[in-house]
A and B are shown apart, each in its own frame.
Chain A
């Protein structure tokens, strides 16, 4: 059983569409949650942290549902530049060595 699971996609959406990804985690005691973005043949980069109350950064909204053990990422008004793989990351304990990465969800935004 994987600690973090994501639908690998690919999600192919037209420009301007709204798209949402979910990620489930297995450890109910997990402490903190993040979304990373990884462009093709590039390194992962932190997109946003996910807070219990939900948080928004421009067109991106992240939410946490502890009861159901999942986090979500919503992208509104998709741009071509949003095409990337989105990695869900869960920290099970204090300290960065307890990070678990999902395998990623691939998004392609089509003109």
Chain B
């Protein structure tokens, strides 16, 4: 069974802390994505990656960075967490050249910043 695994389901952090969200996929997908989902706003793309060591900004990259050192792993980093980054974070992956709309999502990481 194919899987996208996010390391933490629930996190509580304090303002100013550095936060790492890890995502691993076992489908050998080239593309990986980080979204955040907020009520009334839907899913918004933070960053994506088409290949190892490659990253592209999405619609809302401010306050975030990413790392893709290995094909299966895509990390989201909040250098200095702020309360407006309280959200549900969803990692996704997809095949390069596949159905461009078929994303496989992880279960999500719900981050609360106090």
Contacts and interface: CB of A to CB of B under 8 A. Distances in A.
Nearest to B93: A96
A89 B43 CA distance: 10
Interface residues of A, number: 25
A43 B106 contact: yes
B56 A97 contact: yes
Given A96-B94, A97-B58, A43 B108 contact: yes
A26 interface: no
Contact of A43 (B31, B56, B90): B90
A76 B12 CA distance: 42
Contacts of B42: 4, 87, 101-104
Instruction: Using C-beta atoms within 8 Å of the partner chain, give the interface range for chain B.
Output: 20 to 34
Interface of B: 31, 33, 35, 40-45, 48, 56, 58, 90, 94, 99-103, 105-108
20 contacts: A4-B42, A31-B100, A32-B100, A42-B107, A43-B105, A43-B108, A44-B103, A44-B105, A46-B102, A87-B42, A96-B31, A96-B33, A96-B101, A96-B103, A97-B56, A99-B45, A99-B101, A99-B103, A101-B43, A102-B42
A96 B43 contact: no
A32 to B, nearest CB: 6
Given A91-B100, A96-B33, A103-B42, 13 more contacts: A33-B101, A42-B108, A43-B108, A44-B105, A45-B105, A87-B42, A89-B101, A99-B100, A99-B103, A101-B35, A101-B42, A102-B42, A103-B40
